């Protein structure tokens, strides 16, 4: 039996591409839809913007409702406005992305009925997604690749304390290529925004590595100058 769905004249929506890093692998956050159209399909967390909230606020709310995650720093990266992208009517969607550390403790749990579940999925080997979400994902992934070259976005994806090897394997996962260990370390340390800690890795069955922290204040200073250089 076919169900007649309501149609939209003109609706704004938000879709979120949320990257995480776990076990040396880059992942994104997907939901299993619990609503027509595309019921039971996998999709990016996304929903409709309300009348009385800015799109930035909507992005935060929607991600929370569908996945239980909040207080990420999301940034919009592209707006998708093809006429036929949603079967029920005209929906223009603003796509946001964020990078976060996957934290085993934090449970992913939708707080609305619109999603059955939310989970992390490796970016390699993604299944077909609902709507044009595969395209949205690709656009977002290309953007963060390019951004990684001039902004230290990688630190959002790592635990607070991390080793240089972890940092390198994250870069390698995002850029999808091997990097030279000595050159990578030299370069990262030369930026001056890594703070070496008096601590070492624990619980590994080999020589433990030094832990580092990302020093936001130093980064802010350096970045200030770089903006001047660019101009």
Partner DNA sequence: AATATAAGGTGTCGAAATTACACCACTAAA
Partner DNA sequence: TTTAGTGGTGTAATTTCGACACCTTATATT
User: Helices marked H in the chain — which ranges?
Assistant: 55-67, 133-148, 164-175, 181-191, 216-230
Cα within 13 Å of Cα(195), Cβ side: 11
Taking the least distance from each CB to its own copies, the nearer of 146 and 202 is 146
Q: How far is the CB of 105 from DNA (least distance, A)?
A: 24
Residues 62-101 as x/- pattern, contact with its own copies by CB under 8 A: --------------x-xx-xxx------x-x-x-------
Q: Which listed option, its own copies, DNA, none, makes contact with residue 76 (CB within 5 to 8 Å by class)?
A: its own copies
Q: Report the alpha-carbon distance of residue 167 to residue 129 in Å, rounded.
A: 30
Burial annotation 97-125 (CB, 10 A radius, 16+ → b, else e) = bbbbebeeeeebebeeebbeebebeebee
Shortest approach of DNA to residue 226 CB, angstroms?
11
Q: Which stretch binds DNA (CB under 7 A): 48-56, 91-99, 109-117, 157-165?
A: 157-165
Q: Which residues bind its own copies (CB under 8 A)?
A: 9-12, 49, 51-56, 58, 76, 78-79, 81-83, 90, 92, 94, 145-146, 149, 175-177, 230-231
């Amino acid at each position: 039996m076919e169900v007649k769905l309501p149609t939209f004249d003109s609706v704004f929506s938000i879709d979120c591409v949320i990257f995480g890093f776990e076990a040396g692998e880059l992942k994104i956050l997907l939901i299993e839809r619990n609503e027509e159209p595309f019921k039971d399909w996998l999709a990016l967390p996304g929903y409709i913007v309300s009348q009385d909230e800015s799109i930035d606020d909507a992005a935060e709310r929607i991600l929370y409702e569908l996945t239980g995650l909040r207080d990420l720093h999301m940034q919009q990266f592209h707006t998708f406005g093809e006429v036929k992208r949603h079967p029920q009517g005209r929906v223009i969607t603003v796509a946001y992305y964020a990078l976060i550390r996957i934290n085993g403790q934090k449970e992913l749990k939708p707080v609305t009925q619109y999603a059955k579940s939310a989970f992390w999925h490796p970016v390699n080997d993604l299944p077909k997604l609902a709507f044009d979400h595969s395209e949205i994902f690709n656009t977002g992934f290309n953007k963060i690749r390019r951004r990684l070259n001039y902004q230290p976005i990688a630190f959002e994806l790592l635990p607070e304390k991390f080793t240089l090897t972890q940092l390198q394997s994250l870069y390698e996962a995002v850029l999808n290529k091997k990097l030279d260990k000595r050159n990578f370390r030299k370069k990262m340390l030369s930026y001056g925004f890594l703070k070496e800690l008096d601590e070492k890795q624990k619980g590994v069955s080999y020589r433990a590595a030094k832990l580092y922290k990302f020093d936001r204040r130093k980064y802010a200073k350096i970045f200030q100058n770089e903006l001047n250089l660019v101009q």
